[in-house]
Amino acid sequence: MTARSMSKGSNLPVDARAVRAELIWAAGAGVPDIDGSALLLTGSGRVRDDGDFVFYNQPRHTSGAVTHLGKRSAAGAATDTVEVDLSRLEPAVERVVLCASSDGGTFGQVQGLVLRLLDAGTGAEIARFDMVAGTETAFIGGELYRRQGKWKFRAVGQGYASGLAGLATDFGITVDDAPPAAADSTTTAAGPSAAPGATTPPAASAMPPAPPAVPATPPRSPVAPTASAPASPAPVPPTVPPSVPPSAPRLTKGEERLPVDMRKRLSLRKEQVAVSLRKHGAAGVTARVVLVLDASGSMSFLYSKGVVADVVERMAAVVAQLDDDGEMQAWTFASHPARLPDLLLGELPEWLRLHVRVGEMSLFRRGRKRGLDPSQVDMREVGIQNEEQKVIAEVRSFVRNSPSAAPTLVLFFSDGGVYRNAEIERELREAVEEPIFWQFVGLGRSNYGVLERFDTLPGRRVDNVGFFAVDDIGTVPDPELYDRLLSEFPQWITAAGRAGILRS
């Protein structure tokens, strides 16, 4: 295809399987920093959710079709590049809008602003669009769009005086830290008329409500699940000797500080955990317990309805029974992992209030979010996508750097959306020789990828991964939940002990 210099509003067909949108400008003193980004839109002209925005804080779409490749500088020129694999775009995606934003000034201060479209396979230039701007701080350079089953490129040249936040919210992105929108957020950079086919979608919906701190009343009595759990294999006595009498739940410091209703629930649940351990031949076993919570955008509903807070409270009984000091390490993750403050049983209500929070998306390279408690993670740094392999690697590093005489049990809760299968498999295979058992719990029937297939994957000395999923964890009675949660851990203890991974 011959390269073509384009004017605003013009279009051309794109025959390449994948393309790179390269934003170029003259770098120098007093020139604002420029960032490229992309929005994946449906036929309604809006994103499906915040995951359809690809930019420096969220550099890869879950489909793998759109990737922010980052910046390069050479000979006084700077570039920022987004790659789009047109063959991998989902059928629901009808447009990919190619955007830019400035930090520290307006586009009027930027010289030599050009958008080049390249064939990602050959590097050949398909199109070139020279852009001129004024007071805008965000810009739509062009868009890729479907027309009768074929892809085309249009030069747009539409600016936004309200910045990246105004541009993003116009297309349905929720922005918690956006400045107030102006009465008319859009301007045109190359003339008074809007680009052909450009739309002005309605305002974005509000962010979901914040999750409740602690349930005011005990959870409702569970009902019988729709399907019974598969029968557990006959227990194998673990090689780790019991350190407490097997007949009683472990007493843990700090429980007396809990509210009465929460203390009663914890006491009953500890007894049920003790029963499950005895049933699987693991009475008296001790372990360091690590909690991992999925905070990706798809989990918003479970956080807002208190489901995640209830899960954490139920897991407190596991740590109370297994961990001598009644202290649980915890991580949250989405696009990036973040370690949370350790959960101490006596501080459970406050911990739930401060730290059970869903990830957020930030469009700005700013400091810490205002109004946070000093102990809280800024969830904008966590993001909203699924990157399980990153938190797995971080937990592995913690266990290596903080050795314990007891094995580590990781309780990992997620609603699925797994797409980094190769990276996750590599991390978990490498972890086989480490004193860690990974118990994954799926919250809903979703795509769990390699996690639900791991039991059948060959080539491991011991099976270090357990997995099960439930439609609605709130309807699973405590005895059944703890039975399923602890059914494979004792078998791993025995196998890991025989393999020399655990030392008595």
Distances, alpha carbon 280 to alpha carbons 127, 288, 318, 490, 493, in Å: 65, 18, 15, 7, 11
pLDDT, mean of residues 137-147: 93
Task: Report the distance separating Cα 286 and Cα 282, nearest Å.
Answer: 9
φ/ψ of 493, rounded to 5, equals -55, -45
Predicted confidence at residue 311, as pLDDT, reads 98
Task: Report the distance separating Cα 392 and Cα 40, nearest Å.
Answer: 29
Tell me the average pLDDT of the chain: 84
State yes or no: pLDDT of 364 exceeds 90. no
Task: Report the distance separating Cα 504 and Cα 488, nearest Å.
Answer: 19
Tokens 């009902």 sit at which residue?
223
Q: What is the pLDDT of residues 295-341, one digit of tens each?
A: 998 899 999 999 999 999 999 999 999 988 889 999 999 999 999 99
Q: Are 320 and 361 a contacting pair, CB within 8 Å?
A: no
Residues in the chain, overall count: 504
Predicted confidence at residue 50, as pLDDT, reads 86
Confidence (pTM) = 0.65
State yes or no: pLDDT of 188 exceeds 80. no
pLDDT bracket for residue 234 (50, 70, 90)? very low
pLDDT, mean of residues 437-457: 86
State yes or no: pLDDT of 154 exceeds 80. yes
Predicted confidence at residue 155, as pLDDT, reads 93
Q: Given the DSSP bridges, would you call strands 436-443 and 408-414 parallel, antiparallel or unpaired?
A: parallel
Cα–chain center distance at 353: 20
Helix (H) or strand (E) holding 130: strand 125-130
Predicted confidence at residue 219, as pLDDT, reads 40
3-state helix, strand, coil in the chain (%, to 5): 25, 25, 45
Q: Are 56 and 68 a contacting pair, CB within 8 Å?
A: yes
State yes or no: pLDDT of 366 exceeds 90. no
Nearest to 55 by CA among 72, 73, 77, 70: 70
Structure tokens given for 179: 């400045």
In this prediction, what percent of the chain has a pLDDT beyond 90? 59
State yes or no: pLDDT of 456 exceeds 80. no
- E strands present in 248-346: 288-294, 327-333, 337-344
Predicted confidence at residue 368, as pLDDT, reads 85
Predicted confidence at residue 104, as pLDDT, reads 83
Predicted confidence at residue 445, as pLDDT, reads 67
Cα–chain center distance at 176: 17
What is the Cα Rg of the chain in Å? Answer: 26
Task: Report the distance separating Cα 96 and Cα 29, nearest Å.
Answer: 32
State yes or no: pLDDT of 1 exceeds 60. no
Tokens 């669009």 sit at which residue?
129
Task: Report the distance separating Cα 47 and Cα 53, nearest Å.
Answer: 8
SS3 per residue for 429-478? HHHHHCCEEEEEEEECCCCCHHHHHHHHCCCCCCCCEEEEEECCHHHCCH
> Which residue type occupies 301?
F
State yes or no: pLDDT of 56 exceeds 90. no
State yes or no: pLDDT of 493 exceeds 80. yes
pLDDT bracket for residue 3 (50, 70, 90)? low
In this prediction, what percent of the chain has a pLDDT beyond 70? 83
State yes or no: pLDDT of 198 exceeds 60. no
Query: What 3-state class would DSSP assign to 15?
Result: coil
pLDDT, mean of residues 361-383: 86
Task: Report the distance separating Cα 279 and Cα 398, nearest Å.
Answer: 31
pLDDT bracket for residue 221 (50, 70, 90)? very low
pLDDT, mean of residues 375-387: 92
Strand partners, 141: none
Task: Report the distance separating Cα 354 and Cα 356, nearest Å.
Answer: 6
φ/ψ of 13, rounded to 5, equals -75, 150
State yes or no: pLDDT of 467 exceeds 70. yes
pLDDT bracket for residue 223 (50, 70, 90)? very low
H-state helical runs in 328-420: 348-355, 388-401
Strand partners, 103: 33
pLDDT bracket for residue 176 (50, 70, 90)? low
